[in-house]
Amino acid sequence: MNLSAVDLNLFLVLHAVLETGSATGAARQLHVTQSAVSNALARLRDVLGDPLLVRSGRGLVPTPRCEALRPLIASAVAQLQAAVDGQHFDPAASTREFTISCGDNQVLCDLPLIVEAFTRRMPRAKLRVVSVDYVIANDGMASGDVDAALGPVQVASREGFFAEPLYLEDVAFIVRKDHPRLRGTTLTKEAFNSAQHVDLHISQGRPGVGHRLFDQFMKDHGLTRDIALTVSHFIAAGMAVSRTDYVAGMPARTAEVLCAMLPLKRLELTPSPGSMVMALIWHSRTHADPGSRFFRELVIDALRDGSVPRRPPAARPSRRAS
């Protein structure tokens, strides 16, 4: 198909229908008649050879082909709109809602710094925080529903994702203060192997990047874990450890916060597991948007601690590992 022979306005109409959920809503958004929307959809169906939208009850349901087109069209429209707007964004006047995804460990340690900067630099805007599960279940990064996410830099290894390193995260272990066997501040290999552990499955009940890296570390150093409890939140792990003889591993900064809140103490494993690079991650869908870009810079300024170098602009797009 020759792209020059296709009326690209037809894709704008489809984008409006997908955004509003109906031809009526699209007509209102585009300031045209409903029949004009219906005619445009009919022409696009002929061009693509697919029904695109089919009736289900009183609404319209996208076909699989249409669902595949949705993020591509949304990204193209956003970038064209940014070009038309001249990349202008006024943070002091913006009333836009920005969304960031993170785990409960970052809610404890990073969110207060983000909120402080957000309220100072975008006083009229709104901030929404969603879970890792929400992003995965709703494809929030590719759809543009989520502006950015906090997580291990390895998460951005897929094509179309960008990542900015923020800081190094160390691993620490927590036990209750009056643990009968684990005294002092060191967790030896023997004590580690003989203890019962709390495991963390943060992402949709499955092991995440940090979990897989630590599994490899255990394999390399002859460590084994007797998993007595598996939870999806670090706070839940801390609460459980404070009432049992269990041991839980977690990000060191999170361990410090929980030890200040609960009758817990922090232990350091010998040998040390090393550090993980934590990053701000976003999708090409929102990369060119001036508002999202300002929000990302705000988060980077609030969290980057200098322990990892900032990438030059030309190196920011993440590429698929070869």
**What domains can you pick out in the chain, each with its CATH number?**
3-85 (1.10.10.10), 97-156+280-315 (3.40.190.10), 168-276 (3.40.190.10)
What lies within 8 Å, CB to CB, of 252 at 6+ separation is 169, 170, 171, 172, 266
Q: Is this structure's pTM higher than 0.75? A: no
> Residue 73 corresponds to which amino acid?
I
pLDDT at 198: 97
The 8-class DSSP code of residue 311 comes to P
**Binned average pLDDT, 10 residues per bin, the chain of 322 residues:** 80 91 89 93 93 83 91 83 70 92 95 97 95 82 87 83 94 96 93 96 78 91 96 96 97 96 95 91 88 95 82 43 30
Task: Name, in order, each residue with C-beta under 8 angstroms of 186's C-beta and a sequence gap of 6 or more.
Answer: 267, 268, 270
Alpha-carbon distance of 276 to 254, in angstroms, equals: 14
Q: Which SS3 state, helix, strand or coil, does residue 200 take?
A: strand
CA-based nearest residue to 164, from 292, 308, 275: 308
How confident is the model at residue 251, as a pLDDT? 94
Residue 87 is predicted with a pLDDT of 61
What pLDDT, on the 0 to 100 scale, is given for residue 310?
Answer: 65
The pLDDT assigned to 262 comes to 97
For 191, other C-beta atoms within 10 Å of its C-beta total 18
HEC string of 204-268 equals: CCECCHHHHHHHHHHHHHCCCCEEEEEECCHHHHHHHHCCCCCEEEEEHHHHHHHHHHCCEEEEE
Task: Identify the pLDDT of residue 309.
Answer: 66
